[in-house]
Copies of this chain bind each other. A is one copy, B any other.
């Protein structure tokens, strides 16, 4: 827990305003997000799942994609993600992949569950052994798949991330 500044309050309010505005226009669920680095807004997002027919179009994912597009990089070290609700596991993991440095949120996953969003269920599923998940998962080892991984290691021209 770091100190909450007036700038933090400002950007979080912006994320919340986005959540209301785009819910009202029918874009999707009531979620908004803003990504900020060094006092500059790099990207904004809001939920577009139902309007874009894209189950991955959560506010945070959209904001990350837009911020990366804006800066021309697949990583956002030093950036803060402001979001109107605690990220779901998809969005939280995307923040890790994007190398986000801090997350500030308003509503919680329990608040989200209360209004019908499955974040808590998915949080419960992720740590389970593969064999105990609601979605059946079959591991089919493949020599060719393993060989592709070996080829990645041996490729001198790859861009690691």
Contact = CB atoms under 8 A, between A and B. Distances in A.
B29 A152 contact: yes
A89 B130 CA distance: 12
A149 B69 CA distance: 29
A55 B142 CA distance: 26
A75 B49 CA distance: 10
Say how many copies of this protein the assembly contains: 2
A92 B75 CA distance: 21
A34 to B, nearest CB: 13
Interface residues on A, range: 35 or more
A12 interface: yes
Interface in A61-79: 61, 64-65, 68-69, 72-75
Given A29-B152, A145-B84, A149-B30, A160 B116 contact: yes
B116 A148 contact: no
Interface in A115-161: 115-116, 118, 121-123, 125-127, 130-131, 134-142, 144-146, 148-149, 151-153, 155, 157-161
A116 B153 CA distance: 9
Interface string A40-70: 0000000001101111101001001100110
A132 B147 CA distance: 37
Contacts of A115: 149, 152-153
* List of 3 A-B pairs having minimum Cβ-Cβ separation, nearest first: A106-B145, A90-B93, A106-B142
